Structure formats: C-alpha cells, structure tokens
Amino acid sequence: QIRFSELPRQAFPDGATPEEITRHSMDLSYALQRVMEQRYPGRPLGLLAELQFAFICFLIGNVYDAFEHWKRLLNILCRSEEAIGKYQDLYINLISVLYHQLNEIPADFFVDIVSQDNFLTSTLQVLFSCTCSSAVGETLRKKAEKFKAHLTKKFKWDFEAEPDDCAPVVVELPEGVQVD
C-alpha cells in the first residue's frame, strides 16, 4: 500500500467566516500550508518529491490512485496564489518537474473522454495567472512564461482562452420584462 500525504478535504479552517471560506476556496494556500506543516515541516521541496513519486507510480506501476493523488496535489499547488509568492523556489522547481513529466506522456492524455476538458490546461492556466502577480520574482515569472510558451508550442494548449466559468452569461428575459 502506498501512503501518500493526506490532502485536506476542507480548504479552510474550522470556524471560518463565510468570507474566509470563500477566500480559502479560491486560494488553496491554507490547504497547501497544512500539508507542508504536517508532512514536510521546513522541507517544502519534499512535496515535489511526493508529486514525482505519485507520477512514477502511475506511469510505471499503472496505479490509478497515484494519478488521482498527483492531480489533487498539483491542483493544490497551482491554485495557491499566496504560497506562490511565499515559496518561489518550490514553484521554480515545480515547473522543472512538470516540464520533464509532461515530456513522458502523449498530448491528449489529460483530456477527459466525456467532457473533452483538459484538467491540466485549466489548472496550469491558474498557475500562470498567479505567476503574473507583483509578489512573484522575475526568475519565477520568466520560467513560467517559458514553460507556458513550450506547452503552447508542443501541445497546442491555449492558456489565453477565458475559462467557461469566467465567461459572460447571456440571460434571456421573459417577454414583457424590462431591466432598468
């Protein structure tokens, strides 16, 4: 049995206000911090070792649970905007790890067969938008830009498209109803 880190089921602290719940649900830095404190205190790069181990267990050993753990861990890492500014060395190394991992698999591997949605492009799109922040140093920003360009060229992934949940919604009003 493989014992990966237990990832928090709840992205916010107990007793959080509605405002805090919303903030922690949008920025998963609190959840990431909890994992690092519990499993890798003082060693944030240990999280990347676990990410690599999960990827290898899936790729070589065909362990589907390892792939699911890899996806969840990557999601927490990419959606932790505050942590990206705080742990820049971790994220510089994350980009290197992902570069090598993604060279090992076919381009269409991450596409959901049912929805035709690529979880990786949407997850990385969040990471790339976070690396544009003023809290992010030039080294990480440039590395993220180069990685984004590499993925766009190699896999033809579009990171500039607006996610569906951010797109405007057209609402048809019933006949006779007017909006002021």
Q: Where are the domains of the chain?
A: 18-161
162 band by pLDDT with thresholds 50, 70 and 90 = low
User: Would you place residue 113 in the very low, low, confident or very high pLDDT band (cuts 50, 70, 90)?
Assistant: very low
Q: Residues for the chain: how many in total? A: 180
Specify the CATH class of 18-161 in words. mainly alpha
Q: pTM of the entire structure?
A: 0.85
pLDDT above 80 for 109? no
Tell which wins on pLDDT, 113 or 30: 30
CA distance 138 to 155: 25
pLDDT digits (tens, 9 = 90+) for 122-153: 999 999 999 999 899 999 999 999 999 999 99
pLDDT per position as a tens digit, 77-91: 999 999 999 999 999
Share the mean pLDDT of the chain. Answer: 89
- For the ranges 48-52, 99-103, 174-178, the lowest mean pLDDT is seen at 174-178
